[in-house]
Amino acid sequence: MKDLIPESSTILIVDDVPANLGVLTDVLSEANFQVLVAEDGESALQKLDYVTPDLILLDVMMPGIDGFQTYEILKQNPLNAQIPVIFITALSEPNYVIKGLALGAVDYITKPFQKEEVLARIKTHLELRRLTKILETKNQHLSEEIYEHAKARADVQRLNQKLEIRVKERTVELSKTLEDLHKSQDLLEYNALHDSLTGLPNRDWLMQRLKYLIATNSSYSVLFLDLDRFKIINDSLGHLAGDELLKSVAQRIQEYLTPFQTATRMGGDEFVILVDTETPISLTEKLLEQFKLPFNFNGYEMIVEASIGITSSTMGYQEPMDILRDVNIAMYRAKKFGSGSYQIFNPQMQADTIARLQMEQDLRKAIPQQEFCLYYQPIVSLITGKIKAVEALVRWRHNQGMIAPDQFISVTEETGLINPLGWWILREACSQLKSWQEQFPEILLKMNVNFSPVQFRQVNLFEQVAEILKETGISKNTLSIEITENCLLKTPDSNFQLFKEIGVSLCLDDFCTGYSSIKMLKNLPINTLKIDRSFVQDLINHPDDTTLIETILLVGKSLNLEVSAEGVETQEQAEILLKLGCIWAQGYLFSRPLDYQAATEFIIKNQENNHEQ
């Protein structure tokens, strides 16, 4: 195909991210394409007033007018109507992909880019455009030949035998030309409906088939199969190995299908299987079981499991796009249950997805609009009741009511919004701590702030923490950052040592709910262990939890660490913890999380009670 595509083919890249422009420009320039770039939709439309590229790569998410609006505007110009447009989008944006294809884009490319896939898709659509032009030219030539043939037949009676023979010869030549043209057209149509890597039917074929099944009111099921951790394999072993794996996957899938079941490749590591029944569970379980067996490719032997989403004609679909949307949602729901899982779509999944997207949009507005606030839960002595510290807990003042962190923190982690939110929490908590330290200098109150594992990936983490400490002026060694065992396992030890150098202590939250070891604790600057509330809640009815808490306290004592209990709600729990040797605790028995005014009143009252004693 490379030899057939003119080296002078011009590609217009529209993307607001300079890094993406750089990567795509390098890839296309190396492939001898002429490259034009635009950083937004407006500048792209301006360029199209002066130049007509052979193909456009158009990013979906851009400032100003987005990719979809840009597409609709450029297609209004007849000069641009035939230019193929490939949308650029992310794997986590199925709705954007569907919308782009519905508008009329010829294809989409997912981020992060795979060089071979980018070039293959571009060259395929350039070749389709080239062959289409050839087909139009040949059709024109054929019409002219037929006309000449008819004229010759009209004159046949006055021509001699030699001319008659020549006419017959010409007829044979024309028939051969027409036959060759049909063969070329058949090959073009086949290539347009099949994946060049695996030979499976492609997305266009699937869409046509789904339209037919809907129109004929047929029974069917659709399985959306996505490989787990394929990107890791592709990045570590290389794209050639990844391609061989995909071919092996396609072959294995086909081995377990009947003649009435069809596997298609959507792109990347995504396969859709069309089944002639509304109950495909047996096939699904069989496929997932087979994916537990190793694949052999390029000299590697590796187990690559898959996640499968399922939907069927029982949902009463009227549009193929709706089918792909729902089965994709079900597949991502399956991934949440771990490798080798499947989920059947139900309408609540779509509602949850829409709610999740809406929450993400609301969260993006919440930070600049200052919709977050902090509540503070006191940590007190089980012996004297005297307050030692408070834990800062974020709340979201949404227009539909106050939202607790367990409902939105995971979304901020997935979107990266946890980083700006985390800095706001730390700065706000330290500012409030400084105010309390000035108001109650005799207490030397401390503040506990929770950090997400995502925050530890920031390159300027410690510089920023040190800057906030300097900016707020809190007393030295009065800030404690709470981390989870998951964070402990994923973060290099050296990163934690830097906290010690800037006077910040570390508290291991929910100790014994994960996989941290005694050796790990010994080698890290951990100051405090927290007993998870689940152990405290079952303290009275489950003697095993008493033994576990005794073990935690023993670990803390042997490593010279403080131990604090969470979720203390009854006096009986507090008495048992104190008897076991736990000195510090927090929970509803002492106080619910309080806003800063109520927390200030709690501190004042706590001081008064301790003075009276």
Whether 1 and 47 map to the same domain: the answer is: yes
Confidence of residue 257 (pLDDT cuts 50, 70, 90): very high
Whether 311 and 167 map to the same domain: the answer is: no
Whether 58 and 87 map to the same domain: the answer is: yes
Whether 181 and 215 map to the same domain: the answer is: no
Does residue 308 lie within any of the structural domains?
Answer: yes
Does residue 525 lie within any of the structural domains?
Answer: yes
Does residue 409 lie within any of the structural domains?
Answer: no
Helix 67-74 / helix 94-103 crossing angle, nearest 10 deg: 10
Please write the tens of the pLDDT for every residue from 382-440.
999 999 999 999 999 998 899 999 889 988 998 899 999 999 999 999 999 999 999 99
Residue type, 575: E
Based on the structure, what is the number of domains in the chain?
Answer: 3
- CB-neighbour burial class of residue 246 (10 A; exposed 0-12, middle 13-18, buried 19+): buried
In 3D, which of 396, 333, 394 has the Cα closest to residue 364?
Answer: 396
Residue type, 49: D
Run of H or E residues at 379: strand 372-381
Q: What pLDDT, on a 0 to 100 scale, did the predictor assign at position 484?
A: 85
pLDDT averaged over every residue in the chain: 88
Q: What pLDDT, on a 0 to 100 scale, did the predictor assign at position 208?
A: 95
Whether 8 and 148 map to the same domain: the answer is: yes
The helix/strand/coil state of 400 is: coil
Q: Of the candidates 130, 157, 191, which is a domain's last residue?
A: 191
Whether 564 and 475 map to the same domain: the answer is: yes
The CATH code of the domain that includes 210 is: 3.30.70.270
Q: Indicate whether this model's pTM tops 0.85.
A: no
* More confident: 206 or 155: 206
In 3D, which of 197, 198, 36, 190 has the Cα closest to residue 120?
Answer: 197
The CATH code of the domain that includes 23 is: 3.40.50.2300
Whether 177 and 297 map to the same domain: the answer is: no
Q: What pLDDT, on a 0 to 100 scale, did the predictor assign at position 287?
A: 94
- CB-neighbour burial class of residue 340 (10 A; exposed 0-12, middle 13-18, buried 19+): middle
Neighbours of 178 (CB within 10 A): 14
Q: Of the candidates 191, 220, 237, which is a domain's last residue?
A: 191
Does residue 354 lie within any of the structural domains?
Answer: no
Q: What is the residue range of 86's domain?
A: 1-191
Please write the tens of the pLDDT for every residue from 172-226.
777 777 777 777 777 787 888 999 999 999 999 999 999 999 999 999 999 999 9
Residues 296, 251 contacting (CB under 8 angstroms): no
Please write the tens of the pLDDT for every residue from 482-518.
998 777 777 766 667 888 888 999 999 877 654 455 6
Confidence of residue 341 (pLDDT cuts 50, 70, 90): very high
Whether 129 and 1 map to the same domain: the answer is: yes
Does residue 410 lie within any of the structural domains?
Answer: no
CA pseudo-torsion sign 242, 247, 250, 255: negative
Confidence of residue 154 (pLDDT cuts 50, 70, 90): low
Q: What pLDDT, on a 0 to 100 scale, did the predictor assign at position 326?
A: 94
Does residue 368 lie within any of the structural domains?
Answer: no
Whether 53 and 117 map to the same domain: the answer is: yes
Whether 243 and 183 map to the same domain: the answer is: no
The CATH code of the domain that includes 508 is: 3.20.20.450
CA pseudo-torsion sign 199, 203, 205, 210: positive
* More confident: 193 or 279: 193
Does residue 402 lie within any of the structural domains?
Answer: no
Please write the tens of the pLDDT for every residue from 287-314.
999 999 999 988 888 899 999 999 999 8
Whether 518 and 428 map to the same domain: the answer is: yes
Distance, CA of 140 to CA of 144 (rounded, Å): 6
Does residue 216 lie within any of the structural domains?
Answer: yes
Please write the tens of the pLDDT for every residue from 106-128.
888 888 888 898 899 889 888 88
Q: Of the candidates 191, 216, 240, which is a domain's last residue?
A: 191
Q: What is the mean pLDDT of residues 443-456?
A: 93
Whether 534 and 598 map to the same domain: the answer is: yes
Distance, CA of 89 to CA of 75 (rounded, Å): 20
Distance, CA of 450 to CA of 593 (rounded, Å): 14
Distance, CA of 211 to CA of 217 (rounded, Å): 10
The helix/strand/coil state of 477 is: coil
